[in-house]
Structures are given as structure tokens and as C-alpha cells.
A and B are shown apart, each in its own frame.
Chain A
Amino acid sequence: MERRMFLSMLAAAAAVRETGFHPFTSTAYAAEGKPIKIGFLPGVVDPFYQVMQLGVESAAKQLGIEVVTQIPQTWGVEVQTPILDSMVARGDLNYIITAPTDKDQMIGPLKTAADAGIKIITVDTFLGDGDYATGPVTFPVSYIGSDNMEGGRISARGLAKAIGGKGLVYINSTNPNVSSVEGREKGFKEVMEKEFPDIKVLGPDYNLDDMNKAQQQTAAVLERERDLAGVFGTNVFSAQGAGNAVVNAGLGGHVQVVAYDATKAAIELMNTGVVTLVLAQKPFDMGYMGVQFAQADAAGVTSLPRRVETGFAIIDKANVKDPAVARFIYQVP
């Protein structure tokens, strides 16, 4: 039964395409029981968004929804906006699931899309302050993601536990004024200040996405602070460079390194002792729920939460074999 409905939906979609008819209001379209069509526009090509794409595709397949995916080659408003504009110009998309590359600068382009009748769901990153119910930006349907501040907090607690609640820790980050890593730094510092008075935070230094520089900076900090106990790398690249400096100084296992994001590379670094802890987000959940939310909204569901926190998992050597934890590793086939 379900399959036959799916097939008839496909046929209807095909018929629409052949006649060149493009609906302008998604809700009317959906109300007639026809399938919606979703655009997926993540932030940049990387394993995190690839896993998110798997979530999107998996949900779309189960719900019989067609998805058009466009992935920017580099992170940035000036790259994402033209792709967004071209998705809007297609005229056949009812929903766009996107990770805005800037919480302020992307408001305009996405509002334009919304005004053209396309409903917006943001995943991973948000617009404004992320509160679409009472915040400054209210036009998107929902935000589904894990807050970087919270990720920083959880990283801080994980690192604090690993170093016994006291000592010096150092932050190595990518670029200043990038909302994602900035949030991670803030959350990390906040928890260390409030919950761990015996831990002092140094840095951040910025490696400008240069792994070699991350290694050099961490090596210099290790020279300066002989009793450094831990390093927080705000992304895998930073943690990899920092961890390399730690291992080369012969301090692998003595200085604990936290990596943000559970790419397979991060897990391999943990297995070889370069990093100690890996923080996993749940990009699959974000993508899957994004599509579900679109479907539900199109069907007339009115009580969708405006903000969904997907949460985190901390992976270390002790739990990485546990299937309940290992499934959070960003597995891209």
C-alpha cells in the first residue's frame, strides 16, 4: 500500500515536471497530498555534513521525498548565497534544509527564499540567536543541531575529568570570529571557570586551519608551560596538530588532548594515542529529523518544536568499542 502510494507520488511528480508546472506555495501543494521536494544545502564539504546528508537521504527515501543536494566547496556566505539563490530560482522546492554559514549575514538571503514560498529549516547552525519562537529571527520552521557552546562545555568536563580536575589547559583553535569554534571556546572557558577552579585555561592561539602551525604553537606552549596537562583542539585539524606536538615531546598519554568532532581520522588519532577524547555530534540525527520536520510541517503539523538539541557523545578508548557509542563516529561509506 505504502509503496503504491509512493509510486503514484513519483508519477505525479514526473507529470508535474513534464508539464513544467511549478507550484509557488508549498503548503497548498502538500495539502493536496502530493509529495514535497526538499533542497539540502549544508555548510561545506566535510565528513560531518556528509553524515548529515546520509541522514537526509535515509529519511527522504523512507518518506518518498525527492531531495536536491548542493554542497559548497568552501565555507562562507559568499559561496553559500549564490547556491541558495539558484536553488530558489529552480522554483520546485518546498523546503530548504540548510546550515547557514553566518548567523547574521545569511538572514537576508534565507528571508528572500522564505518570501518566495520556500520554508526554511536550519540544521547544525542557526540564524540570529537560534530561538525562532521569541528571538529576533522567526521565519524558519525549526533549528535542529547541537549548540557549539554546549559542545565546549562538554569538552571541558571531559578534559577536566581526564586530568583529575586540576592543572593548566590550552586551547588551540582555527580562526577568530567564526561562530562555531568561538562558541566552543566560550563554552569550554565558562565551564572551566565555574566548575573547576583549579584549572587554568591558556590561549586560544589561532592556527588559521594550518595543522603545521597548530603543532608549532602547541610545541611552543609545551616549552613555556612544563606542567601543561591538557589541550582542547576546537576541531580535528587543530587537535591533530596539537597532539603531534605532544607525542613528539614524548608526552603522549601525559598531556590529554580533546578533539571536537568524531571523524574517522579523529578516532584513528585516538587509537594511535595522539588524542585522548573525541567529542561526537549527531549529524545523522540532524539531517534525518530535518526531513521529518519538513514532511510533518507540510502535512499540517503545527506543534513542531522550534529548537531541537541533538546533543553529544564523548568517545574515549574505553568506550569506543561499545556499539552504542561507536555509532556516533562519522561513518561515510
Chain B
Amino acid sequence: MTATPIESRMQRPIILFSRIWPWIFLGLLIAFFVAVVPLASNGSVNFLTIRNSQNILVAITPVLLLGLGQTFVIIGRGIDLSVGWVMSLASVLSALAIRTVFNAGLPLSLSIVIGLLAALGGAGLFGFMNGVIIAKLKVPAFIVTLGSSFIVRGVALLMSENTTVIGLPPGIRDYGNEALVYYIRGEGGGLYLLQRPDVGGDLVRRMDAILPYPVVLTAIVVAIAVFLLHKTQFGRHTYAIGGSPEAAIRTGIPVDRHVISLYILSASTAGIAGFLSTLRFAAGSAVIGDPLLLSSIAAVTIGGVSLFGGAGTVIGTVIGALIIAVLTTGLVMLNVEAFWQFIVIGIVVIVAVLIDQSRDLIISRDRAGQSS
């Protein structure tokens, strides 16, 4: 049986609204700050500047990278609570690898590539472990990944000998903080590619770094994720498993293998996040990813990925991460007291989830109607 015409007429706009809601909200948010930030500062400060936009893009990179893999996992009706600590482990592993091979005489660029491989390898191994236990032993994902996050935490702390991994090659900071393009506004300015112009005084204040390397790398990962989820069989299988695992098995999708690869993917994007943090802060830290887990799940949820699986997009997660970062930067620029910042961010997350759930409620009511 199909849903009655009245129900589907109500459903369609709600589903459509929940799909474009993150975009609308981001637009409203930016418009709000663009209007209010100059008012709060008597016109001396603007929200929509090149520098501010780049700051926000840099700020979303770790949250977004954790969220990208999580998007796949949650669409596939799972959850990965270990990503924060996997990111920390990757940060430690990449820092140790870079320091070791650089000190052994390898050039910096090659050392960094090896650092990335170490991060991906270590993270991927834990992703594989998560996936196998979840898929083959049928243990609930949140228990498995919660448990493995303790293991990862221990391994990261042991490997870092419980301290920040320092002594990395001096040039490494540039890879994590410099940008593709530099632009100096106004008199004596101009456009510079790849090389931070060596200027001082007033010119520094007018210089914008556009497309910092972490943003570029994250954008590439986003592009790959979009392609993977929306253009390939891998993506279609992910939606199918999230929609109905039983149906996916009946249609011959290798569900176990696919679930394992979802957790490897999730750990890998967390691994890239850890690698990037090592470049950005020129050090490896065994605790750097821990506080990011909740933000990353919030980004995924605000972006419209259903926590019940089967629905969501990569771009939605990007928007979700942007909403959180725009809020954080905007509230600081408005000089809002710290405690009010918490309250506002909390309200936004809950409103977003409410709208997400209203869609799920309607869909499930429809399903219940069909089966009766």
C-alpha cells in the first residue's frame, strides 16, 4: 500500500525543507553577522572579509575531516565514536615518523609524505579492527568504537610517551600554515603566489593568506568523498545498507565487507585530520582530537545526515561544519560572553537535530502506514 495523497502532500515540502534547511540557516547566519558585527564595533570591523573567511575555512578542517568519514558511517546506519582519538593517534604517528625519517637524512617533503602514510596506516588499522568486530561479530557499533577509542587513546599516549611530540623539522610549520596565494590590499600591495611576501609594518596588516594548504588538502578529500558517495557503486551500497541492511543482503550487496570499508574510510579521514594537525602545530599530540568528536557529529547531524541511516550528503556535512565555525567566529567577533556562546551553539545544534528528526518521524510514520 502507498501513503495517502494527503500525507505525501505534507511530507514532500517537509523533506525538501529539511534538505535545504542547512543552506538557508548558513545564509541567515552569515547575513546576521554581516549586519551585526559592524554595528557592534561602530563600523570598524566587518565580518565578511577575506581573512575572516580563510580563518573559518582553516577552523573547519579538522571537524570536517572527522565528519566526512562519519557521514559515510552514519548513512550506512553505524556510528564511529573513535574518530577523535584515532585523529590523536595519527597526529602522534605522523610526528614520530616525520621526525625519525627526517633525522635519518630524508628531505623534508619526502618525510612529510611518509608522515601522511604513517597516519593513514595507523588509523586505517584501527578502522579495520572496528569494522571487522562490528560486521563479523555483530557487536553494536557504538560499543565497539567506544571501546576501541580507549585502546587508541592508550596506544597514542604510550607512543608519544605521554607528552607532545616535538623536535620536528623547522620547515614543517610552513606546510601546515602557509597558503597558495597571498594578497596585499591597497597601496604597495599585490598578488603573490606560493610564497609569503617578506613585508613588514602596515603591509602585514593588509595581507591576506588565501587557500592555506590544510584547506586545499581538505577540499581535495571533500571532492573525493562527494564522488565516492554520489557517483559510485560504493556510495549506492552505502545508502542501500543504511536504508535497510536486510534488503541490502537480499540484493546481493557484500554487506560485511562494505561495513568494514566504511570504518576504514572513517578512520582514514580522521588520520588525515591528525596528520594535518601535526603540520599546523608543528607537533604531535595524543590528546588533540578528543574534543573534536562531538563537534564532528554535530556537523554531520546539522548537515542533514539522518542518525537512523540511509539519508544525507557530503555537502550537507560541509555546510554543518561551516555553520558551527561561523557561529564560533561570529560570536567571538561580537564579543559575546563565553557562557552565552555555549548556550547559542547548543540551541543551534538541537534545533538542527529537531528538524532532522521531524523528517525521520514522517518517513517512519509513512513506513508504518505502509506495513499496516
Partner of A265 from the list B161, B164, B207, B328 (CB cut-off 8 Å) is: B164
Residues 315-342 (chain B) with a chain A CB within 8 angstroms: 325, 328-330, 332-333, 335, 338-339, 341-342
B96 to chain A, nearest CB (A): 14
Instruction: Tell whether, in the assembled complex, residue B177 and residue A248 are in contact, meaning their CB atoms are under 8 Å apart.
Output: yes
Instruction: Tell whether, in the assembled complex, residue B292 and residue A210 are in contact, meaning their CB atoms are under 8 Å apart.
Output: yes
Collect the chain A residues with CB atoms within 8 Å of residue B332's CB. 205, 216-217, 220-221, 224
B368 to chain A, nearest CB (A): 40
What CA separation (Å) do A210 and B295 show in the bound complex?
11
Give the residue name and chain of the B residue nearest to A240 (CB): B281
Instruction: Tell whether, in the assembled complex, residue A211 and residue B288 are in contact, meaning their CB atoms are under 8 Å apart.
Output: yes
Give the residue name and chain of the A residue nearest to B61 (CB): A212
A72 at the interface (CB under 8 A from B): no
Partner of A224 from the list B56, B287, B333 (CB cut-off 8 Å) is: B333
Instruction: Tell whether, in the assembled complex, residue A176 and residue B338 are in contact, meaning their CB atoms are under 8 Å apart.
Output: yes
B55 at the interface (CB under 8 A from A): yes
Instruction: Tell whether, in the assembled complex, residue B281 and residue A224 are in contact, meaning their CB atoms are under 8 Å apart.
Output: no
B165 to chain A, nearest CB (A): 9
Partner of B166 from the list A45, A50, A216, A268 (CB cut-off 8 Å) is: A268
Give the residue name and chain of the A residue nearest to B56 (CB): A216
B291 to chain A, nearest CB (A): 4
What CA separation (Å) do A241 and B164 show in the bound complex?
14
Given A211-B285, A244-B280: A205 in contact with B291 (beta carbons within 8 A): no
A122 at the interface (CB under 8 A from B): no
A323 at the interface (CB under 8 A from B): no
Instruction: Tell whether, in the assembled complex, residue A220 and residue B173 are in contact, meaning their CB atoms are under 8 Å apart.
Output: no
A209 at the interface (CB under 8 A from B): yes
Partner of A45 from the list B162, B173, B212 (CB cut-off 8 Å) is: B162
Instruction: Tell whether, in the assembled complex, residue B177 and residue A205 are in contact, meaning their CB atoms are under 8 Å apart.
Output: no
A208 at the interface (CB under 8 A from B): yes
Collect the chain A residues with CB atoms within 8 Å of residue B177's CB. 244, 247-248
B45 at the interface (CB under 8 A from A): yes
Given A46-B162, A244-B280, A263-B163: A209 in contact with B45 (beta carbons within 8 A): no
Interface string of A285-329 (1 = CB under 8 A from B): 000000000000000000000000000000000000000000000
Collect the chain A residues with CB atoms within 8 Å of residue B283's CB. 240, 265, 268
Collect the chain B residues with CB atoms within 8 Å of residue A224's CB. 41, 45, 332-333, 335
A-B contact count (CB 8 A): 120
What CA separation (Å) do A216 and B56 show in the bound complex?
7
Partner of A213 from the list B41, B44, B162, B328 (CB cut-off 8 Å) is: B328
A61 to chain B, nearest CB (A): 22
Residues 16-66 (chain A) with a chain B CB within 8 angstroms: 45-47, 50
Residues 264-302 (chain B) with a chain A CB within 8 angstroms: 277, 280-283, 285, 287-288, 290-292, 295
Instruction: Tell whether, in the assembled complex, residue B55 and residue A220 are in contact, meaning their CB atoms are under 8 Å apart.
Output: yes
* Count of interface residues, chain B, beta-carbon cutoff 8 Å: 53
Instruction: Tell whether, in the assembled complex, residue B209 and residue A217 are in contact, meaning their CB atoms are under 8 Å apart.
Output: no
Given A204-B338, A272-B282: A50 in contact with B288 (beta carbons within 8 A): no
B137 to chain A, nearest CB (A): 26
Given A268-B166, A272-B282: A226 in contact with B277 (beta carbons within 8 A): no
A176 to chain B, nearest CB (A): 7
Partner of A209 from the list B161, B204, B290, B342 (CB cut-off 8 Å) is: B290
What CA separation (Å) do A147 and B120 show in the bound complex?
43
Collect the chain A residues with CB atoms within 8 Å of residue B44's CB. 226
A219 at the interface (CB under 8 A from B): yes
Instruction: Tell whether, in the assembled complex, residue A216 and residue B291 are in contact, meaning their CB atoms are under 8 Å apart.
Output: no
Given A223-B52, A244-B280: A250 in contact with B328 (beta carbons within 8 A): no
A155 to chain B, nearest CB (A): 19
Give the residue name and chain of the A residue nearest to B294 (CB): A208
Give the residue name and chain of the A residue nearest to B332 (CB): A220
A94 to chain B, nearest CB (A): 28
Instruction: Tell whether, in the assembled complex, residue A50 and residue B162 are in contact, meaning their CB atoms are under 8 Å apart.
Output: yes
Collect the chain B residues with CB atoms within 8 Å of residue A13's CB. none
B367 at the interface (CB under 8 A from A): no
Give the residue name and chain of the A residue nearest to B283 (CB): A265
Partner of A208 from the list B62, B161, B204, B291 (CB cut-off 8 Å) is: B291
Please indicate which of the listed interface residues A209, A223, A241 has the most CB atoms of chain B within 10 Å of its own CB.
Answer: A223
What CA separation (Å) do A210 and B61 show in the bound complex?
13
Instruction: Tell whether, in the assembled complex, residue B164 and residue A263 are in contact, meaning their CB atoms are under 8 Å apart.
Output: yes
Instruction: Tell whether, in the assembled complex, residue A223 and residue B55 are in contact, meaning their CB atoms are under 8 Å apart.
Output: yes
B231 at the interface (CB under 8 A from A): no
What CA separation (Å) do A149 and B163 show in the bound complex?
25
| Chain A interfacial positions (CB closer than 8 Å to B) | 45-47, 50, 73, 176, 202-206, 208-213, 215-217, 219-221, 223-224, 226, 236, 240-241, 244-245, 247-251, 254, 263-265, 268, 272, 332
Report 8 cross-chain contacts, Cβ distance below 8 Å, ordered by A residue: A206-B342, A209-B290, A220-B328, A236-B164, A248-B209, A251-B204, A263-B163, A265-B283
10 smallest CB-CB distances across A and B, nearest first, come from A216-B59, A265-B164, A220-B332, A250-B204, A210-B291, A219-B55, A220-B329, A268-B166, A224-B333, A47-B163
